[in-house]
Structure 1
Amino acid sequence: MNQHLKQTLMGMLIGGIAGLGMSTPLMAQSDKAGQEDPALKIYRASATKVNDLVHTKLDVRFDYAKRYLYGKAWITLKPHFYATDSLTLDAKGMDIKDVAVVKAGKNSALKYSYDSLQLHIALDKRYKPGESYVIYINYTAKPDELRTKGSAAISEAKGLYFINPDGKDPNKPIQIWTQGETESSSAWFPTIDKTNQKCTEEISMTVEKKYVTLSNGKLVSQKNNADGTRTDTWKMDLPHSPYLFMMAVGDYAIVKDKWRGKEVNYYVEKAYEKYARNIFGNTPEMLTFYSKILGYDYPWVKYSQISGRDYVSGAMENTTATLHGDFIQKTDRELLDNNNYNEAVIAHELFHHWFGDLATAESWSNLTVNESFADYSEYLWLEYKYGKDAADEHGFEAVQSYMSMAQYSGDKDLVRFHYHDKEDMFDQITYQKGGRVLNMLRNAIGDSAFFKSLNLYLKTNAFKATEAHQLRLAVEEVTGRDMNWFFNEWYFGKSFPQLDISYKYNDAAKTVTVILQQIQKEAKVWQIPMAVDIYAGGKIERHSIFMENKVDSFTFSYTTHPDLVNVDADKVVLAKIDDHRAFSTYVYQYSHAPNYMDRRIAIDEAADAQATNPEAVKVLQLALKDKYHGLRTYTIGKLTMTNSTVKAATLPILQELAKQDPSSLVRAAALQQLAELKDPQYSSLFEAATKDKSYSVEAAGLEGLAALDLDKAYTLAKQMEGDSKGKLVNAIAGVYARKGNAADISFVATKFEETSGQDKLNAAFDYLGFLSKVNNTPAVIKGVDQVKAMTAQFNNPQVSTYVSNWMQEISKNKSQEATAVSGANRDELQKQSAYMGKAAEEIRKSIKE
């Protein structure tokens, strides 16, 4: 699962709210929720296996009006080890009509009890180990009547979702899709809903002929029925866990591809059919790449990807049938500004088909053996396809996401057997920290040993449930090294080291001593392998060191005084580092050290010194022409253009970047920096940018023009409404907020209403930012109501908390604005403040309920 991606939803929230200027105290109000809960004292063991699933056969049809699924299930099981005469199945919120054992093709009714969550069945006899039996269940699933709770990564947990089933919303297609993780498959079919269960499956779906279907495995038959419906049967011959079962139904276009003779299909809404290969087209290459590095070919019969409106979880790695939120559907224009985000999500879910689907975490405590690998797969793909700079930038953002969460919500173990709720496992520790830990492991043992270890792990645990210790054992078998120290530090421990680095040079003895101190508050002392590169006399000499004490020093000889001593030269150690060295070393580092982080750190140092140090300005000039667009973009944002020296040195470069840099993100950043100057000479440049193919560049041009000529910008904004997405919507909204015409406000409200899925969450914060700038009470009331409705739809404590806090902040600001004006304006601002404050409180109360 992504975002899951991946960035989890909480990470997106922290970044998004911080970007809007929300204060840290408000962000921290939701911290440490449930820390005193007695549930934290419960040891979360792997589920006990009394019976094993062998095969699940389902026959289902849908009642769109009632939002019901009418199902028949034939479940083949056998005792795990001990003989048993009973069976417990998970079955949430269902009507159970018949329960029977199937023998010789006939059903014999069985006694059972049902408590709305679990079905307890008395079997017809005591079954011995290895003796299989088939249970038949006739049932109705009613997911919309099931009270559920979501998480930071999964906003709802009702398993089966009817999207616009009555067709009343003209902006949404009619769809059905499922979401099984964590334990929600049992909301649409009876099963043993645990990760350590695996079985084969067969699902027959009866649907209207106009719809297409998707499920796990292969489509083995399609049968037209007399009533105008069609029954599609999908069969999965390899075992996988129940949370990975899926169905999807809708009016999709199917764009077909292939990989080594296997189907690779892309299901998209028909409006995006012509963009499907732009979106998903690198999937076959990913299949080849991952199969090669793992030494283990993609094991499943096909690979399909589909989008789902209002999807609750970013994306989900259902075996052979990944489901993406509709954010994945983008036009060629939108993809220009996507900065590989879509591809990272696609890579993440595909890699799960080895780590998660093939070898599956035996419990939610061990979730990171699924998610850390999927997170790290993003790095691997970006490194292979777009270069190490792109991968390292992605890794750095993951580190920042994890460390932000640790600061605001408290750190936890990567593998943790105590948690308040299983949904709490879907966080930046499981994902982003886990991915960075794998990167350190790869660096510590080397590429060859790392990928051979993954191969052994997969071969040993294929179609089984697994845990972190089995990864450790694979690494130890391949390398011949004891790896307990590494796993105890990172997998079975929490937090990260903080390093203070200083240097002592002795030119008489021609030695340099590197002094490393661990200054973290925790008593724990980390063992840290790392590389130290010494640049001297035009040569680079590498030294491998191993820090194992609170304070360690390492002395190296030289013949020529070093230009740079680069500690953690590979920039892989997950730590906060304070490095005490001369500015001249950073100047040298930018031009000579190879990694993204080497250059980024040098840019940061130069940005801090740009007001007083001419050498710093030279570094920034070089960085504006960096080979990697991400660092060009970053450098633009670090410039202090109010400093005349900086302005004179960088302005010509900025102008060229704004006009012709190949990256739309660089062009947009350069335009934004030039806009800060409010110089009329750039009016034509900004106006020309509003014709760019990139929405981000268009937005930057419009915003720059608005600062110089609001009337002209307003005229252009009206013309740009028809084809506006992403940042361009925000730019148009900003122009309308400044212009103040009440008739224009409906544009923003309509655009928000048209947005769906997790994109709507990001849009909500932009919408609230817009409402904070307008003094129009009806518009504010309507907007607040729209955002409240979205919050209810997400049904997620984190979402509700952050939305409530942001509303409260805006309410306070409007109240303060009211004190500075008089008459009708004051009255209206006070009304807006009161309404927003009341809404914030209502959302906050809904969290407690």
Structure 2
Amino acid sequence: MKKIYAVLLAGSIIACSLNTAIAQTAKPQDPALKIYRATPTKINDLVHTKLDVRFDYKKRYMYGKEWVTLKPHFYPTDSLRLDAKGMDLKTIAVVKNGKNIPLKYTYDDSLTVAIQLDKVYQNNEKYTIYIDYTAKPNELHVKGSAAINDAKGLYFINPDGTEKDKPTQIWTQGETESSSCWFPTIDKPNQKTTDEISMTVPAKYVTLSNGRLASQKVNKDGTRTDTWKMELPHSPYLFMMAVGDFKIYHDKWRDKPVDYYLEPKYAPYAKDIFGFTPEVMEFYSKTLGVDYPWNKYAQIVVRDYVSGAMENTTATLHGEYVQGTKRELADRYYDAGRSTIVHELFHQWFGDYVTTESWSNLTVNESFADFSESLWAEHKYGKDAGDEHIYGDRMAYLSNPNLKTKDLVRFHYADKEDMFDQVTYQKGGCILYMLRNFLGNAAFYKGLNIYLTTNAFKNGEAQQLRLAMEEASGRDLNWFFNQWYYGAGNPVLNISYKWDDATKTQTVYLEQSQDGDAFILPMAIDIYAGGKKTRHNIWMKDKTDTLTFAVASKPDLVNVDGDKILVAKRNETKTLAEYVFQYFNAPLYLDRLEAIDFAAKNQGDKGGQKVIIAALKDKYYGLRIRAIKALNLTNDDIHNAALPVLVTLAQTDDNNLVRAAAITALGKLKASGNMNLFKQALENPSYAIEGAAINAIGMIEPQQAMTLAKNYEKDAEGDLAQAILNVYATNGTDAQWPYVYDEFKNGAPQTQFNLMKKFADFTGRVKNPEYAQQGIKLIGDFGVKYKQYGVAPQVIQILTGIKNERAKLNDTESAAQVDKAIEALK
């Protein structure tokens, strides 16, 4: 599962995890946190699940017949309990000699069904239960979470075809325990079963499920029955179905089919969106020493998905954000879409091939998938890209103090959905990155190979990972797992330095100031002196440590945590001169980033200027953008040095995002002399560059930008579309309102988040009260939708601002609608 979220905070729109918003909302201690969440007891084991289903699009029902084969796990039993949420159960029988013998059962709160078997079964006996049922997902009273915003398992998208420009689709979402909304099962991750799913659908539609397409039968009533067989065992939450008008692009990895299912609009770009998948499969197979373990791999993009993506075995389901046209994708580089593609693929090993035995140990699924994003970035795009990605993960965790009490492996939680947070994902991924650095690549990947091969098609937990790593490396790792997996928080590392010229001694003072015990921290300390670097590998085992090093001359730089790998908050006392040296001599992405950020605060100093100007030409595009955004162009020295560089970057940089950032920086100068540069940029095929150019022109000549925006409306996508919305929302009149309203209403969540403030300002100033009320309703509905995530106070603040503006226009009706919208948010 990859989760993609954004959240409204403090009246401005920023991207982050909704988990952060939830965590930062003060709540009383939940009594549920005192409950020990044991690994589910296995009384019966799933063996094989056979389903025959058809769909009622009008009623949003699924009519199902199931033959589920089981056996007692160890102890003899005469009963069976299955999860079956919100279903009509018509028949439950045991199959004997081809006949269905009805069984007695009780259906508890329409959640689980307790079945009295026909006899006591031993653990060497299999039995098959037949169930005739109707699934009614839209009638379920279930709630989602910050990670997965709905939990009804089976989704009918535009089933009546009444929503314009939206296809009719059906798809499923099983994680965590929602597969039991569409078929009765033991809906726990420590169960594994083979399966066969037959779907009867309108013949015009395509289907997808786990495993191989075993047969297709055309029926006389205009339907077709597709049968998919999954012949290797996997967990029920990884079952999937999808039905709709999809075009299939056929690719392959070695001799295995790799297929991409897309709506017809995006079918021409299938190779652009997913085409690197076989390359990733090859890299992961070689790195792990375990070839991709399934018979095929498919990826499908669906509408209105309830999270980011889901790693269903052999058939990953993606939300719309991964797709795009060739022009859109040219601006994305290693974006959320591409990182999600590799994330879900890594799950085919970590999560599907070996599955967490309980949600408490979700780290063996999600931490690995998070880690894989940086692993691929490092391999494909270079170490700077990998380090940037893992640094983003590290900061996502470290910036949220409310996560500091959560263990990575947690046996106490209020809801299993709470495990899908920045501890399991980002912190867990960073811990694996740190473990790899400590053990070395060869030992680390050998350990992963041992873990995978030992537990193939079974379940795993963090202790088995520890044993595998110890077997591979020969090192005891209890200390590492105790503090990082079974403990909470992170070190807060205070670092200071002292040079004694008389004794030629460099002293490094280390202090861990976090509450609780000291973390054991193996780390590298690099000392740069006399034109060379000397590395010292040390272990910090106490809350304070004083280290002394004999050095022939005063060091130019002492670089603690030379590999920049620790999951720690660092407070360091370095001079600007040391950061200047660090930028030009220390090799890593984070070395340069730290220097750029420090220099950005010291642009009045020659050393800060030297770094910030040099960083405009950094080898890594992400740091070039960082430097551009940090420029203080009101400083004459910076302005004069940066201006020619910015012009060159805007015109010739090989990265579209750098060019767009340079144009944006130039636009803020509001210098008419740059107008030709901006107009030339409008001829670039990059949406990011075109969008930056329109915004820059709008800074100088708003009406010209409005005219240009009108000319580009029809074919605008991506950043260009957002730029047009921005220009209209900033400078537009009632004439532009219908376009802004429709685009905002139908825009992706991130677009809405990015433009919320501008949209609210436009809503406040339009002349037509009907338009104002349309905007108020959109913003109010947004607040209600995300109220559970703590955004209501900020939305109320925005609505209050609109009310004040409408009052100035004597629009009492719109002001009254604001009051109603605010009331709904209280």
The yes-or-no answer on 1:715 pairing with 2:707 is yes
Determine if the alignment matches structure 1 residue 143 to structure 2 residue 134: no
The answer as to 2:664 corresponding to 1:669 is no
Contact kept, 8 Å, 2:398 with 2:569, in 1: the verdict is no
Q: CA–CA distance in 1 between the matches of 2:787 and 2:457?
A: 33
Query: Aligned pair 1:358/2:353, yes or no?
Result: yes
2:685 aligned with 1:693:
yes
Q: How big is each residue's C-alpha offset from its partner over 1:468-506, in whole Å with a ceiling of 9 and x where there is no partner? A: 111111111222222111111111111111111111212
Q: For 2:819 and 2:692, how far apart are their aligned partners in 1?
A: 32
The CA deviation at 1:401 is 1.6
3-state SS in 2 of match to 1:285: helix
After TM superposition, give the deviation of residue 727 of structure 1 in Å.
2.8
Check 1:23–1:91 CA distance in 2 against 1; reply closer, same or farther (3 A cut): closer
Scaled by the length of structure 2, the TM-score of the pair is 0.96
Is structure 2 residue 717 aligned with structure 1 residue 725?
yes
Match of 1:182 in 2: 176
Deviates more, 1:763-772 or 1:45-54: 763-772
CA shift, 1:158, in A, is 0.3
How far did 1:53 drift? 0.2
SS in 2 for 1:609: coil
Whole-angstrom distance in 1 between the partners of 2:301 and 2:267: 12
Letter matched to residue 319 of structure 2: G
Q: Distance in 1 between matches of 2:344 and 2:529?
A: 45
**Using the alignment, how far apart are the partners of 2:643 and 2:770 within structure 1?**
44
Cα deviation for residue 542 of structure 1 reads 1.1
Instruction: Describe the superposition over 1:206-254 as per-residue Cα deviations: whole angstroms up to 9, x where unpaired.
Output: 1111111000000011111111211110000110000000000011110
Deviation at 1:761, TM superposition (A): 5.1
Amino acid in the other structure paired with 2:341: I
**1:636-687 deviations in Å (ceiling 9; x for gaps):** 0001011111101111101111111111111111111111111111122222
Q: Distance in 1 between matches of 2:762 and 2:745?
A: 19
* Cross-structure match for 1:387: 382
Match of 1:658 in 2: 650
Is the 8 Å Cα contact of residues 240 and 357 (structure 1) preserved in structure 2? yes
- Counterpart contact for 1:805–1:840, Cα < 8 Å: no
Letter in 2 for 1:387: G
Is structure 2 residue 35 aligned with structure 1 residue 46? no
In 2, are the aligned partners of 1:359 and 1:463 still within 8 Å (CA)? Answer: yes
- How far is 1:389 from its partner? 0.7
Moved more, 650-659 or 555-564: 555-564
Residue 30 of structure 2: aligned partner:
37
**Structure 1 CA distance for aligned equivalents of residues 22 and 373 of structure 2:** 32
Residue equivalent to 1:191: 185
Q: Is the 8 A contact 1:2 1:316 kept in 2?
A: yes
Q: Which residue of 2 aligns with 1:847?
A: none
Q: Secondary structure at the match of 1:271?
A: coil
- After superposition, residues 164-243 of structure 1 pair within 5 angstroms as 164-243=158-237
SS at 1:81 equivalent: coil
- Residue equivalent to 1:486: 480
Separation of aligned partners in 2, 1:185 and 1:27: 28
- The match for 1:250 among 244, 247, 257 is 244
Q: Is the 8 A contact 2:144 2:151 kept in 1?
A: yes
1:763 and 2:746 are equivalent in the alignment: no
1:810 and 2:801 equivalent? no
Q: 3-state DSSP class of the match of 2:266?
A: helix
Q: TM-score, normalised by structure 1?
A: 0.93
Residue 108 in structure 1 maps to residue 97 in structure 2? no
Q: How does 1:317-332 map to 2 (within 5 A)?
A: 317-332=311-326
- Tell me which amino acid in the other structure corresponds to 1:353: Q
Tell me the C-alpha RMSD between the 2 structures: 2.1
In the alignment, structure 1 residue 457 sits paired with structure 2 residue 454: no
2:63 maps to 1:73: no
- Counterpart for residue 570 of structure 2: 577
| Larger deviation, residues 532-541 vs 166-175 | 532-541
Contact kept, 8 Å, 1:152 with 1:796, in 2: the verdict is no
2:521 & 2:165 partners in 1: Cα distance?
A: 54
Task: Summarize the Cα distance change of 1:452–1:607 in structure 2 as closer, same or farther, 3 Å threshold.
Answer: same
Q: Which runs of 5+ in 2 are unaligned?
A: none
Q: 2:143, 2:347 → 1: CA distance? A: 24
Residue type of the alignment partner of 2:392: E
Q: Which residue of 1 aligns with 2:808?
A: 825
CA distance in 2 between counterparts of 1:327 and 1:300 reads: 26
Q: 1:273 matched to which residue of 2?
A: 267
Aligned-pair CA distance for 1:28: 6.2
Which residue, out of 629, 647, 671, partners 1:637?
629
CA-CA distance at 1:27 after TM superposition: 8.4
- 2:749 alignment partner AA: K
Q: Which amino acid aligns with 2:470?
A: E
| Mapped contact 1:151–1:796 kept (Cα < 8 A) | no
Q: 2 CA distance for matches of 1:805 and 1:325?
A: 29
Answer yes or no: is 1:334 the counterpart of 2:328: yes
Q: 1:66 to 1:838 in 2, by over 3 A?
A: same
Task: Give yes or no for contact 1:752–1:760 (8 Å, CA) kept in 2.
Answer: no
**Of residues 615, 625, 628 in structure 2, which corresponds to 1:623?**
615
Structure 2 contact 273–323 (Cα < 8 Å) conserved: yes
Q: How far off is 1:271 after superposition?
A: 0.9
Once the two structures are overlaid, the 10-residue window that deviates more, 760-769 or 70-79, is: 760-769
- The AA in structure 2 aligned to 1:383 is E
Secondary structure, aligned partner of 1:113 = strand
Structure number with greater CO (CA < 8 Å, separation at least 6) is: 1
Q: For 1:377, which of 342, 367, 372 is the aligned residue?
A: 372
Determine whether 1:346 maps to 2:341: yes
Structure-2 change in CA distance of 1:21 and 1:169 (3 Å): closer
What CA distance in whole angstroms lies between the structure 2 residues aligned with 1:805 and 1:699? 32
Residue 722 of structure 1: how far off its partner (Å):
0.7
Other-structure match for 1:821 = none
* Alpha carbons 2:46, 2:186 under 8 Å: kept: yes
User: Structure 1: how far apart are the matches of 2:740 and 2:583?
Assistant: 44
State the shift of 1:429 in Å: 0.9
1 CA distance for matches of 2:449 and 2:705?
57
AA matched with 2:300: I
C-alpha change, 1:490 and 1:409, in structure 2 (3 Å) is: closer
Of the structure 1 ranges 658-667 and 160-169, higher mean CA displacement relative to structure 2 is found in: 658-667
Task: Say if 2:292 and 2:349, in contact at 8 Å, map to a contact too.
Answer: yes
Tell whether 2:113 aligns with 1:119: yes
- Distance in 2 between residues matched to 1:498 and 1:762, nearest whole Å: 36
Q: Of 378, 393, 401, which residue of structure 2 is paired with 1:398?
A: 393
The 8 Å contact of residues 748 and 767 in structure 1, kept in 2 or not, is answered as no
Match of 1:565 among 555, 558, 563: 558
Alpha carbons of 1:28 and 1:324: their partners in 2 closer, same or farther (altered >3 Å)? closer
Partner amino acid, structure 2, of 1:605: F
The DSSP-based 3-state class of the residue aligned with 1:278 is helix
Unaligned runs of 5+ in 1: 819-823, 845-849
Say whether the 8 Å CA contact 1:361–1:370 is kept in structure 2.
Answer: yes
Matched, 1:95 2:88: yes
How far the C-alpha of 1:778 sits from its partner, in A, is 2.8
State the distance in 2 between where 1:425 and 1:21 align: 23
Q: Partners of 2:257 and 2:467 in 1: how far apart?
A: 35
Whichever residue aligns with residue 725 of structure 2, its letter is A
Tell me the secondary structure at the aligned position of residue 171 of structure 1: coil
1:835 aligns with 2:826: no
Q: How far does the alpha carbon of each residue in 1:19-68 deviate from its partner, in whole angstroms, 9 at most, with x for none?
A: 537999x9868735654221111111111111000000000001100011
Cα pair distance change 1:18/1:587, threshold 3 Å? farther
State the alpha-carbon separation in 2 of the partners of residues 739 and 751 from structure 1. Answer: 16
* Greater Cα offset, 210-219 or 478-487: 478-487
Q: CA deviation at 1:400?
A: 2.0
| SS of alignment partner, residue 584 of structure 1 | helix
692, 704, 720: which one aligns with 2:696: 704
* Corresponding residue SS for 2:536: strand
Structure 1 contact 371–431 (Cα < 8 Å) conserved: yes
Query: SS of the counterpart of 1:173?
Result: coil
Q: CA deviation at 1:766?
A: 2.0
**Distance change >3 Å, CA 224–CA 789, structure 1 → 2:** farther
1:428 matched to 2:416? The reply is: no
